[in-house]
Amino acid sequence: MTPPARIASAIELIATVDAAPRKPADAIANDFFRARRFIGSGDRRAVSERVWSLLRTRKRLAWWLGRVGMRVNPRMLVAASLLSEGWLLSGLVQNFCGGQFGPTPLNPGEQAALAQMEGHGLAHPEMPEAVRLEVPDWCVPYLQERFGDTLAAEMAAMDLPATLDLRVNLLRGTRQDAISALATEGIDAKPTPLSPWGLRIEGRRPVSTGQAFQSGLVEIQDEGSQLVAALVGAAPEMRVVDWCAGAGGKTLALAMTMENRGHIAACDVSEHRLDGAVRRLRRAGVHNVERHLIEPGDKWAKRRAGTFDRVLVDAPCTGTGTWRRNPDARLRLVQNDLDELVPKQAMILGQAARLVKPGGRLVYATCSVLLEENERQIDAFLGTQPGFTLVPLAQAWTLPGDPPGPGPYLSLTPGRDHTDGFFTAVLERTA
């Protein structure tokens, strides 16, 4: 593809994303490229990087377009994004060239407006804080309460592309085995600093098509998510529940720490997500997992109350900790989402707690950075569940080295820990 054709494809993809505001952009992009198989891998990567760069800076780009009197649309957003990265207006005019594959030429009004942005970066002292931080307006007070003086630094880290983290599957080999296998594929992988099973790759690489992934030696999993699985403390011969298992990412890690011995019940309300775990389990060589679909009126949990050593609740949440990986998610998040999720999390936590046997542990996790979904959720639970006590992070941490950050909980952030934002609380049933 020519540079104008790549720009035109980026404009088309942004328009497609805008047409489905509640659908994740990565799913839309997958459908978009699947329907255009004539676009080669290098061009797909270039178009995707252009679009994801725009999504990370969309509020600021829209603010600038409003400032220069332009209507915000995919075409002008792409043009403004290029200018913000150092392009000259003359370069835009050359690439907005029309023809069969290029975007329609810029009209005089568009050129005049864009000329006011030429030579400027994204920052401007008159920007409102929510625009400057690239977050929903309603979310600013919640984030200020959570991060205080480090808010700007943490939101800047959210604007950076996420690294590609892998978890080595010890059922298939060692971390050194994985490093060597990836090297033969031309992929340089370095050990992560916190997870003893983690590998980190800079940039976007097609790992899933290589032999290391296809053989089950590695799985794609953020280092923070690996640490959540580690805090469950699932060991061989235990009975374990992954209560919100989804497609099984943490289930796979739990099976690994259990050395394929014992029993895991992977539960979820979505049959589609549970079915999606089957191939992953087979590829990883996992055979101690039972999948269970949670349905209304289901007696499964009632019959198994108080019989599990470990119960993991990876609760549905706002996903505010994953914004660097899913920059479009911050554009979709509304106050009502948080208002609905908090009582839902409390209900799920209460249901899962019944499964824990005396002396067993309940582990609550989210990929959110908001206090309402994390610390306050646990405070509320402990206030109504006298049979549970909090296990401090220093006591629950069994990995090499010191736990990241102070306090009784695992609370990871992109700015401080270079992971997605994760929260984990470990609770023990005493009676």
With CA atoms as reference, report the closest residue to 199 among 214, 220, 230, 213.
Answer: 220
Tokens of 429: 């049933």
> Who contacts 174 (Cβ-Cβ below 8 Å, separation ≥6)?
168
Are 198 and 226 contacting, i.e. CB atoms less than 8 angstroms apart? yes
Phi, psi of 164 (to 5 degrees): -95, 110
Other C-beta atoms closer than 10 Å to the C-beta of 94 total 12
CA distance 341 to 5: 42
What is the spatial order of strands in the sheet that 164-168 belongs to? 190-191, 198-201, 164-168, 218-220
Are 417 and 316 contacting, i.e. CB atoms less than 8 angstroms apart? no
Other C-beta atoms closer than 10 Å to the C-beta of 23 total 14
* 367 given a catalytic annotation: yes
DSSP designation for 401: S
DSSP reduced 3-state for 171? coil
In which residue are the tokens 């997605």 written? 420
CA distance 301 to 322: 30
Show the CA angle centred on residue 375, arms to residues 385 and 418, nearest 5°.
140
CA distance 14 to 107: 21
- H or E element at residue 211: helix 211-214
CA distance 325 to 161: 7
Give the side-chain half-sphere CA count within 13 A for 370: 22
With CA atoms as reference, report the closest residue to 3 among 110, 117, 97.
Answer: 97
Residue in 139, 244, 317, 367 annotated catalytic:
367
388 DSSP β-pair partners: 429
In which residue are the tokens 């990567």 written? 45
Phi, psi of 316 (to 5 degrees): -60, 140
Q: What is the CA radius of gyration of the chain?
A: 23
Active site residue ranges = 367
